[in-house]
Amino acid sequence: MMNMTKTQAHRWALVTGASGGIGQEIARELAAAGYALVLVARDAARLARVADELAQAHGVPVQPLPCDLAQAGAVEALAQALAQGDIVPEVLVNNAGFGVYGEHARTDWQAEHGMIELNVTALTALTKRLLPGMVRRGRGRILNVASTAAFQPGPYMAVYYATKAYVLSYSEALAEELSSSGITVTALCPGPTATAFSQRAQAVDSALFKGKRLPDASEVARYGVRALQRGRRVAVHGCMNSLLAQSVRFTPRRVVTRLVAQMSRRV
C-alpha cells in the first residue's frame, strides 16, 4: 500500500486529509514553519501534486502516503511505513473526515459507517499509535480537527455532529491527561468553511452553506496552527462561532436542537 525511503533527521509533521481543504492548508502552514511532512489522503494523484508543490515552495521533504484510513488495517500499515522510513512525527494533525447530510431514517448506512470509521476510529487509532512515542520523548503536539458541530446535537447531520462531539471530548480529556508531559492536544473547531465538505456531504442547499460568505481554508488553517503552537486546548475559529459555542451552555438543549434543525434544513 505504501512505500517510503529512509530519511535524514528532520522535524516531521503528519497531516491526514491533506489532499485539499483545511488539511492541505495546515500542511502548507507547517511546511512554511520548517516541518518536513508526511501527507495522507485517499486520492494518490492529488496528494502527489500537493506534495510536489509544498516541497518546491518550502524546500522541505514531503512524503505522500496515499491510503484510506477508514479501511481496516490502514493505521497499522501507516505506522509501519513511518518506521521503515525512520520518521518520528513530532506533530500529528488528525484532519481527515467527512459528513453525511439528510434525515437519519433515509441516509445511507454504509456512508455513515465509513464516516464513523474515519472521523472517530481512525483518529483515535492513529493517536493511540503515535502518542506512546511522544510520551517517551517528552514532547509532541496533536491537532484534532473537530467542528463547531461538536457543541450541540445536529438534526439532518446527526451522526456527523456526534462524531465531532466525540473528537472534542476525546481531545480535551487527553489534554488534561498529558498536561505535565510536554505534549499538547488541541481541538480545532471551525464553523462552515469554503471547502468541498458541503459537496461531499450533499449539504450545499442547506441553510448552513447556501448563499453565505464562508471563511476560506487558509484562514482556518492559520488560526489552527497558531493554536497548536500555543498549546491551546480548544480553538473555535471566528468570533461569532465562539460566541455561539459558549451560548449553548446556557440555552436549553431542546431549544438549541430546534434552532440547529432550522439552520440545517434545505432552502
Q: Annotated active-site positions, please?
A: 160
Count CB neighbours of 246 within 10 A: 11
Q: Give the residue among 8, 222, 14 at the shortest CA–CA distance from 130.
A: 14
Strand partners, 41: 66
CA 153 to chain centre: 19
Looking up cell 449539504 gives: 203
Do residues 265 and 207 lie in contact, with contact meaning Cβ atoms separated by under 8 Å? Answer: yes
What does the alpha-carbon distance between residue 103 and residue 84 come to, in Å, rounded to a whole number? 45
Put the strands of the sheet holding 36-41 in their side by side order: 62-66, 36-41, 12-16, 89-94, 140-145, 183-189, 234-236
